[in-house]
Each structure stands twice: as structure tokens, then as C-alpha cells.
A and B are shown apart, each in its own frame.
Chain A
């Protein structure tokens, strides 16, 4: 364990300049217990999961392409979204202070939380002050990230998720596996089972018809909406100019929570701020089209402070850092904070499609999770930190970059994080191999010699000219792929040979003949 012990800590301060203090990394559910390849191994075995995921991502992909394709200015919208977010990150402190001022002016209270521990404590205290021991939850990534439900439970406060999919996951004592569709890994029959087992008083004859399942959940939730006094939400956007908070959703359960209770507590990651009210115009087009493939989401709730006699009479905004300042401080990594959590990148990712959200270990799965998680929580929390395997959980195919409504160049960020990881991880066998390869390849003479040596691989090949088993670390590759034995002659030696020269002359002569027959415009 290499905990940073500064000069002051070990008492040998000799006037050396200290390492500049860096922003703390995030806490909570940002780190899994297993590395990606290990966790993926188990998930790949789960046939049902792969079928559910494949079906869900395929249908949502097609819907997204249809509704983004119909907008003539989709590319300009993406550019606008990207520009607004980049501007926001460049002056985040100023915008957050403005947001605080506006929320306070409108009768809300703003709290600042450096990490998940602080945020959880603040929310717990606020709930206690109301005298209530149960709360309703609006689906929120920020509270997932800090493990708020678990913390509240440990403090004797019951938190109930009201988003249908979140509720399914909560009832099953499971973890969400998708940003937007947390129960994407479950099918209807499984959901029916979960409801029968966990919803008090549910009709035992309940079948797996989606409408009936939804109705069963609605009956259960309605009762709760009418009686619970405190709700906790996240926020999709917070407008600095006006102090307005925004939540977009499909079911309307969120709106129930945002309007019925007496007290509303919103936990918002500091990167969710937007400068102006009119910026919503851009994001309310980008978000639903990218996430659910709808032209507009069914419910958009906006609220500004408190309004006497209407809606919650007490409003608290908890601004959560939890590693975001650390990400912001990284010139290149900062781009990941532009994410609006639409999940389009998950839905197009061939790795996510096969391994599911749990393989990533973090609250944030998929391509953006592989970038955001190591940035928020770091890659050196433990030896063989699971987070350090995340930037490698991608074939760099680039489908995520194409899909992202705010044009986050996820592949380049992944490569950058890989670079940061190898720079920090000291001397490894891989690094030595990479150095050796570079040494050979920078010297053409050595490279040619190595090519000849590679040709010896023919000796090891089977009769079909392929190698079917390779030594570690290549054995994973050779478990399902044959490798061709190197050919007798490299291209360069063919090109330099009399045979190569003759072939090139013949081709040139043929070209000259063709040119005589039918002159080409290019010659």
C-alpha cells in the first residue's frame, strides 16, 4: 500500500517543496472488486443476460438512429452541446457560485460535499431534521455513486426507489447494470418473480404482461407517494443563471416525488451545471433522442427554489464533488465531465453488449464508465486496482464517439488513461516488452533479423500452416483463434528480389498497355 506520506507526515521536513495538494478522489461505488477481465468472464457465461442485453440494445439503437437521423441540424446540435459543456467546465467555479446565489435567493439551501461520505452525512442530517425515517427516491446516478440508500439504511432511514427499473433492482437486492435502464439485464419473467416475492399484498395470479407488471408497481408506489414526507432526487441540469433544477424522465414517478413531499433534497454532481436557461433548448433535444430514442421525454420537471403553498416547502441542493475536481484538473480527462449520462455509448458498445454493466464494477458502466470511473476514483486505490483494468476494456472501435451527443472522444481518452496508467505503474513485463519491440523496430537491420527469426515459427506450425496454441500471455488469444505461421519470405525481401523486380516490371508493362488502350485521366 503506497499511501502518499508527505514530508510533514513523517517529521523530516527539510524545507523541500511539498508535492502540490491534489483534489481528492471520489468515494463510494466507483470501484469494483474484480478486474474487468475477471468480472467479464462470469458475465460472458450468462446466456440469459447476453440475450436480454442484445435485444434491448439493438432495439434502442435502431430507435436512436431513426430520431437523430430525422433532424437536419443534428450535427450542429451536437457541436452546440459540446461547446456549451466545454465552456461550462472552463469556468465551473464561477458558475457554481452563481447557482448557489440564485438557489439561495429563491428560498433553497445549498450544501457543498467534498466526497460521498460528506454528501451522505449531509443528506442523513437533513432527513433527520424533518423527523421522518423514510424517503422516496427519484432515479439518480449521483446517489448511486455515493451509496446513499445503503448509508441511510445503516442509519435507520428507509429509502424507496420509485423509478420502475430501479425499484426492480432494489427489490431484488441487485445492482443496476445500465445508466438509463438499470434492470436491462432482467426479463419480464424474472421481474414477475421479483414482484411476487417482494411487493407486499401483490396478487399471486400476477402474470408477466408488462402492463400488469407496471400496474402492480403503480399500486404499490401510489400509496407511498401520498404518505411520504421527504424525497431525494438527482438532477440532470442545474441552471446557474436562474437557480433552476431539472429532471427528465419517462414515467412520471419522479414528478410525483418532486412535487408531493414536504421536503425535497437534490444531490447534484457539480459538472451538471449549465450557464443559461436557454441552454436547455439544446440539451432537451440531445438527451431524449440519444438515450431512449424518443423525440421528447414524457416528463420534464423544472423547479426553482420554493413556492409558498405549491410543491415542497423546503428545498436543499447538495453539490457533490467526489472526484470531479480531480478529473477537472486533468487537461485531457476534463472532457469526460461533459457527459450528460444519456447512455447512447453503452447501447452501441460491442463490449458492453456482451459483458453487461456489472463487469465494469462501477456505478458508471460502459465506454464512458471506463473513462469516468478511473478519473473520479483514481487507478491506484489498491494493488491491482480494478479501475486500472477499465481503460483496457475497449477494442477502440469508436462506435461510442460516433454516438455521443456531446462528442466526447472516448477512444482517445481511453488511450490517454492507458498512457497515464503505464506511466505510473513502474517497470512491468509488458513495459519491457514494449520497449524491446520499439528498440527492434527503430532499427531496420534488427527488424529484418527479427522477421527472419519469426519465419522460424513455420517449424512450429501444424500441417495446415497455422499455430493453434501459443504460450502465455497469448494463450487467451489462441484459445479460440488459429494464428498463421509466418510466410517464407517477407514483403521487403520479395520486393528486393529478382522475382519481385520482375513482377513489378511486368505490372508496369501491363499498365502501359492498358494506358495505350484506354487512356486514364490520372496518369
Chain B
């Protein structure tokens, strides 16, 4: 299958390892992975902060970059960016776009998937042949959970990982407090939410907390680093891309 990778602006710039793992994983599963080089950002930050006019060119660019009919699927290693493409692009296009943009958005949205959805629903795989001998807990990010309804899919993928010790996270479905600009505009409330989330994570004794969104993980990792908790964060793709041949080595510096 010819798959286009949408790296997301945050993944591309700050968390390239998560995107590399996604690319490698998909290639290993026998697919042709392409990276439309003119891609940038889905515009979610704009929309969520209250700006629907400003992201119009971003939505247009997204539809153009991924609209190519030879692209069979667009895979995103982020629940919230996939959610934005599926649910917000249409709103922006309805409000400020022309007919062409509305049509373009509809086409692209129908073939855009978050990574775990793509693996389980489209490819029908739950065992990707990964090997990760560590104690891991999984945080279902809000947009994966409630906008995309990925449900058990990430957990099914994780359970199939060889050597993993997967521990349940108490109150997993409660928001970590990130919420994009919420963490800046209401920094103290966000920090209070983060404290409780970190308490639950460290309470599991996990070495690694994983999730399908680099943004939420950035928030959680930022807090864990500040309190010098030993727990690390890794994107789901990084665990799934770790194999016996090329294992992911847990070091403080690797990101």
C-alpha cells in the first residue's frame, strides 16, 4: 500500500524519533512510505485557540499535499492531529473555504488515520513483531480516546509486544492537563492536573509511560523530568518499532 506519512509540525520538529519509528514500522510491514515534502501543520493549535480564519491556508495545504489519488492512506502518529483533520478541517472549510477546498478536505479526511487505527482497522495487524522487555503503562490521550474512539486498539498492539510488562494506569481516561494553549493560559490548573497524572504513572512503577500523542507526552515528560521521577515517556510507535534485531535502548538521552 502506498502510505503518506503526516509527521505533524511538533513531531517533525521536536520528536522526530516517534515519526522515524512510524516510518520504519510501516516499511517493515511491507508498505511503500512516502513523505510529501511540502507538508507542515494541521492547524489544530489555531482552531483550538479560537482562530478559524488563520488556518485556512494550512488546511488547504494539507488537502493539496495529501490529495494525490496515488496516496491510499495518510498515517499520523498523533491522535489529536488526526482528530483535527477528521473533525476540524471540515468546519474551517465550511466557514471560510470554497467548494474546491470543501471537496478536497472531504477526500483527504476519509483516508486519514491515527497509527493504531491504521494498524488494527486497515491493515488488520495487532502483532507487529515488536520486542520491548520493559515495564510500560499506557495513557490514552483525550483526543485518541474521545475524538477518534481508538478504544482498545493501542492496548491490543502493546499486549502483543514480546517481553513487555504492561501495567494498567489508574484513572487512565482522565486528561493529563495539556490541552495545547490551555497549558499556557491556565498553567496552574494544568499543572494541578499533571500532578495527579504523574502520581498515577509513578505509582505503577513503570519504566515507561507511552501514548499515541507526542504533545501530551511532552507535557507529561516535562513534569516527570522536573520532579526527577525515573519514569520515561516514549511514543507508542517507538515501542512498536523496537525489535530483537534493532531494540530500542532505554537511555536518559535517547529521545
Contact = CB atoms under 8 A, between A and B. Distances in A.
Given A402-B146, A480-B226, A522-B124, A494 B20 contact: yes
A508 interface: yes
What is the interface residue range for chain A against chain B? 35 or more
A351 interface: yes
Interface in B101-124: 123-124
B193 A395 contact: yes
Interface in A474-523: 474, 476-477, 479-484, 486-487, 489-492, 494-496, 500, 503-504, 507-508, 510-512, 514-515, 520-523
Interface in B122-160: 123-125, 129, 142-143, 145-147
Contact of B191 (A480, A503, A507): A480
A350 B54 contact: no
Q: Decide if the interface of chain B is mainly helix, strand, loop or mixed.
A: helix
B50 A418 contact: yes
Interface string A367-388: 0000000000000000000000
Contacts of A434: 46, 49, 51, 54
Interface residues of B, number: 84
Contacts of B47: 415
Contacts of A466: 222, 225
A523 B30 contact: yes
A504 B35 CA distance: 12
B181 to A, nearest CB: 8
B71 interface: no
B12 interface: yes
A262 interface: no
A52 to B, nearest CB: 15
A504 B24 contact: yes
Nearest to A40: B189
A392 B186 contact: yes
B14 interface: yes
Interface in A392-433: 392-399, 401-402, 415, 417-423, 430-431
A86 interface: no
Contacts of B39: 444
A481 B226 contact: yes
B29 A520 contact: yes
A522 B142 contact: no
A468 interface: yes
Chain A CB count within 10 A is highest, among B23, B58, B253, for B23
Contact of A477 (B14, B49, B187, B189): B187
A316 interface: no
Contact of B50 (A393, A415, A510): A415
A287 B13 CA distance: 47
A395 B142 contact: yes
Contact of B12 (A481, A483, A492): A492
Contact of B226 (A399, A465, A468, A503): A468
A422 B54 CA distance: 11
Contacts of B175: 350, 395, 397, 399
B27 to A, nearest CB: 4
A128 interface: no
Nearest to B87: A412
A391 interface: yes
B146 A398 contact: yes
A350 B184 contact: no
Contact of A397 (B27, B58, B142): B142
Interface stretch (A234-242, A288-296, A435-443): A435-443
A491 B7 contact: yes
Interface of B: 1, 7, 9, 11-17, 19-20, 23-25, 27-31, 33, 35, 37-41, 43, 45-55, 57-58, 60-61, 123-125, 129, 142-143, 145-147, 173-175, 177-194, 218-219, 221-223, 225-226, 245, 252-253, 255
14 contacts: A396-B180, A397-B175, A399-B174, A401-B146, A415-B48, A434-B49, A434-B51, A477-B183, A481-B194, A482-B221, A484-B221, A487-B255, A492-B37, A522-B123
8 smallest beta-carbon distances between A and B, as pairs:
A476-B187, A395-B179, A418-B50, A481-B222, A397-B175, A398-B146, A442-B57, A507-B27
Given A396-B48, A480-B187, A482-B221, 18 more contacts: A351-B189, A355-B189, A392-B182, A395-B179, A399-B146, A399-B173, A401-B146, A422-B51, A438-B55, A454-B13, A454-B14, A466-B225, A481-B183, A490-B12, A494-B20, A504-B33, A520-B29, A522-B124
